[in-house]
Amino acid sequence: MSDCCGGPECTVGTSAICQGCGQKGKSVQKLTPEHLLVESKVLELKKAEYFYCPTKTCDVVYFTNDGNQYFKKEEVKVRVGSKETEDPIPICYCFDFTRERIFDEIRTTGKSTTTSYITNKINGGECACEIKNPSGRCCLGEVNRTIKQAQLYADSPEALTQS
Ligand SMILES: [Zn+2]
């Protein structure tokens, strides 16, 4: 089971420290915040390298330390799955898979077809993670993590800790 599509937007990139949480964020193409920030904030984007902060408890979504810019969750047009704790928690932005949908399938059928569905779509060139997913990267890693959690939960509901 692959953790990502292996495309250039997933495999290349640098990282920087988010001043909001002190954790590492990965670089995103400018295309990503351009599509996902609210309009007034898009205008503030500069010629700089932008990074995405995945930390759940951190309000910052995009930042650049050069220009000292920090764009927060409420300035992003979509729900940022990695920072949400309540449903719907988006996992795959290209084909609308939520955490709930993945959990539901495993609860009713015992398995998940999500990874193969998405992989087929990626191979068919139908995904647009760099402009739809706030991380600017493909969702397969997140999908696989969610499937594992859902299977764990189906086996023993009390074993699932909020992570
Ligand atoms: Zn942060």
Residue 132's closest CA among 146, 121, 148? 121
pLDDT of amino acid 3: 73
The ranges assigned to domains in the chain are 14-75, 81-158
> What gap in Å lies between CA 71 and CA 134, rounded to an integer?
12
Taking the centre of ligand 1 as the mean of its atom positions, its distance from the CA of residue 31, in whole angstroms, is: 20
pLDDT of amino acid 12: 79
CB count within 10 Å of CB 111 equals 12
Taking the centre of ligand 1 as the mean of its atom positions, its distance from the CA of residue 16, in whole angstroms, is: 10
> What gap in Å lies between CA 143 and CA 19, rounded to an integer?
28
Q: pTM (2 decimals)?
A: 0.89
Taking the centre of ligand 1 as the mean of its atom positions, its distance from the CA of residue 75, in whole angstroms, is: 14
Can you name the residues that pair with 27 across neighbouring β-strands? 51
Provide the CATH number for the domain formed by 14-75 in this structure: 2.20.25.270
pLDDT of amino acid 161: 58
Taking the centre of ligand 1 as the mean of its atom positions, its distance from the CA of residue 27, in whole angstroms, is: 13
- What CATH class is the domain 81-158? mainly alpha
Mean pLDDT in order along the chain per 10 residues (163 residues): 72 91 96 97 96 97 94 97 94 96 96 95 92 95 94 81 53
